[in-house]
Amino acid sequence: MQPLTISPRFTPPLDPGFMPPVLWNQAYEASAAGGEKLVVALEGENGRISVHETKVRSETDAETLRYVERLVKFLLWMRGGWRLVIGGPAEIGQAIRNIYSANGDRAFDAELMTRVYGRAFTVEITTAEAAPDAWESGAEVGGHLDGCRIGFDLGASDYKVAAVKDGEVVYSDEFAWDPRAQKDPDYHYQHLNAGLKAAAAHLPRVDAIGGSSAGVIVNNRFMVASLLRSIPEDRLEEARGLFERLRLEWNVPLEVVNDGDVTALAGAMSLGERGVLGVAMGSSEAAGFVDREGCMTGWLSELAFAPVDMNPEAPRDEWSGDAGVGALYFSQQAVGRLLPAAGIPVPADMPLPERLRLVQLLMAEKDPRAPAIYETIGVYLGYTVAHYFQFYGFSHLLILGRVTTGAGGEIILSKAREVLEAEFPAIARQVSVRLPDEKSRRVGQACAAASLPALRHEALVR
């Protein structure tokens, strides 16, 4: 059998070796059309099971193993789960089990999923027929504007709060803090509680509290979060229960979710639409999803770790050790690594935010080297929108974050649309790709977070 070849119509100006997974997967799946059924199932929190079905070649060759390995990796960081079931050829299942073992190439991923779900990550091998059925548990969350609410958004250097009364923002502010350096979880509690009290002073009562934060949050609990990085192991459980402690003190409905999901919710609220995938290009890539029924699915959507480049020579993420993952293509990290190819020299110790500011300054000065960085990211995005669409089926993709600020964001958007319309016209007719408009900016992260909880009846009559 001839090796797979793909011929993208667009080449990123600064990364000619880029190999879009959407095209590579299409080529592989065409070659495996008459092959064997393969089922990938992932069990996450509260018994949720996500299932993906495909076909693989009857002979388990190197391309088949690469196809399945990249597929599993994508699904793992999109859906999340502590139990991975491979239903299909046993040779493939064993290969995946070895890769996710303690000494395998994806040991990092297995260990992270163990931390997220509080259960040892396992890989089970079975037949396609015996694989579990899907059981998804999405819930319609957010968009509640009635009553008196507080919303908050936790960042690494500041946190924001907003007081919202019947959908109108009556107070908002941000407060500096340094959570990542703190060893006492009471620091996080006292600072956030002070912000809530500041917002409450502008309301006649508090009916509900909603929040968002970076990190992985499951059932209102921090599971993985850089905000808790200095908390010692013997106090980590206390830190993870921060939001439950606040809920008990305030005695109102309280919901907290990942900041990516609230980004998607803010977009859905501003657009008046459903089926929104939000992708924030900041220090890393953050994402969140509100499905076509207006539900948050409970999926991880940690797309910073999801593969977006099949090039064997793709850049490697220093944290996970994996190559070609989203954080290196849709973030300040992407801007930083493309600078040498653009012919823009910078000191080796220049932080990523300063590198981005330099590129933005060069854009303002009409330096001809700078636009190629944004054009490259735009080509990445055009192919990746089609790739994400295969798994999410969204109607709107909202891009935001510091990388999209200013004229560079317009270049990214324009190039992504050009790729999408030329390579994937059927998808282009179903999907809008856009930057936030002024209405989206006014909704804001903290304000959208305030809309997360539904009110208890007794809160309204209290």
Number of domains in the chain: 3
The predicted pLDDT at position 180 comes to 86
Q: Is the pLDDT assigned to residue 247 strictly greater than 50?
A: yes
Q: Which of 131, 127, 56 is nearest to 90 (CA)?
A: 127
Ranges of H-type helices in 369-444: 371-392, 407-423, 425-430, 438-443
> Do 358 and 234 share a domain, yes or no?
no
Identify whether 174 is part of a domain.
yes
With 90 as the cut, is the pLDDT of residue 22 above it? Answer: yes
Residue 58 lies in a domain: yes
What single string gives the DSSP state of each residue in 187-248?
HHHHHHHHHHHHHHTTSS---EEEEEESSEEETTEEEE-GGGTTS-GGGHHHHHTHHHHHHH
Say if residue 38's pLDDT is above 50. Answer: yes
Strand partners, 288: 278
d(CA 429, CA 364): 33
Last residue of a domain, one of 126, 157, 179: 126
Sorting pLDDT into bands at 50, 70 and 90, what band is 311?
A: very high
Among 151-160, 413-422, 437-446, the least confident range:
437-446
Residue 258 has pLDDT above 90, yes or no: no
Mean pLDDT over the full length of the chain? 92
Give the CATH number for residue 302: 3.30.420.40
Residue-wise pLDDT tens digits, 153-191: 898 778 899 999 998 999 999 899 999 899 999 999 999
Q: Is the pTM of this model over 0.85?
A: yes
Q: Are residues 153 and 237 in the same domain?
A: yes
Q: What is the mean pLDDT of residues 232-243?
A: 94
Q: Is pLDDT above 50 for 132?
A: yes
What Cα–Cα distance (Å) separates residue 49 from each residue in 43, 147, 297, 427, 448?
4, 35, 11, 27, 28
Residue 442: the pLDDT is: 47
In this structure, how many other beta carbons lie within 10 angstroms of the beta carbon of residue 242?
25
* Higher-pLDDT residue of 387, 158: 387
The span from the CA of 330 to the CA of 285, in Å, is 6
Residue 9 lies inside a defined structural domain of this protein: no
Is residue 246's pLDDT more than 60?
A: yes
Per-residue pLDDT for 244 more than 70? yes
**Residue showing tokens 């590129």:** 359
Q: Which of 91, 126, 161 is the last residue of a domain?
A: 126
25 within some domain: no
pLDDT of residue 402: 87
Alpha-carbon gap, residue 74 to 325, rounded angstroms: 9
% of the chain surpassing 90 pLDDT: 76
**Is residue 460 very low, low, confident or very high in pLDDT (cuts 50, 70, 90)?**
very low
Provide the pLDDT confidence category of residue 461 given band limits of 50, 70 and 90.
very low
Tell me, yes or no, whether 135 lies in a domain. Answer: no
Q: Are residues 175 and 283 in the same domain?
A: no
Residues 164 and 97 occupy one common structural domain? no
pLDDT score for 226: 82
What does the pLDDT look like over 72-125, one tens digit per residue? 999 999 999 999 999 999 999 999 999 999 999 999 999 999 999 989 999 999
175 is a domain residue? yes
In this model, does residue 423 exceed pLDDT 80? yes
- Report residue 219's pLDDT band, with 50, 70 and 90 as the boundaries: confident
Note the Cα 210 to chain centre separation in Å: 19
Indicate whether 298 and 432 sit together in one domain: yes
Query: In the prediction, which pLDDT does 458 show?
Result: 40
End-of-domain residue from the set 126, 157, 181: 126
Same domain, 110 and 186: no
Higher pLDDT, 2 or 439: 2
CA nearest neighbour of 380 among 391, 372, 368: 372
Is pLDDT above 80 for 438? Answer: no
pLDDT band, residue 61 (cuts 50/70/90): very high
Q: What is the rounded distance in angstroms from the CA atom of residue 302 to the CA atom of residue 172?
A: 28
Does 386 score more than 70 pLDDT? Answer: yes
User: What DSSP element (H or E) covers 124?
Assistant: strand 122-126
Indicate if 348 and 416 belong to the same structural domain.
yes
Question: Are the beta carbons of 152 and 192 closer than 8 angstroms?
Answer: yes
pLDDT at 46: 87
Average pLDDT over residues 16-21: 98
Any domain includes 392: yes
- Both 85 and 214 in one domain: the answer is no
Q: Is residue 207 part of a domain?
A: yes
Same domain, 174 and 270: no
Instruction: Please tell me whether residues 284 and 204 are part of one structural domain.
Output: no
Confidence of residue 205 (pLDDT cuts 50, 70, 90): very high
Q: Are residues 278 and 425 in the same domain?
A: yes
Residue 361: pLDDT above 80? yes
Cα–Cα distance, 302 to 23 (Å, whole number): 22
Domain range for residue 94? Answer: 32-126
Closest CA to 318 of 108, 96, 99: 108
Paired residues of 213 in beta bridges: 154, 258
Q: What mean pLDDT is predicted for residues 392-412? A: 93
pLDDT at residue 440, rounded to an integer: 55
Are 318 and 287 part of one and the same domain? Answer: yes
pLDDT(459) > 70: no
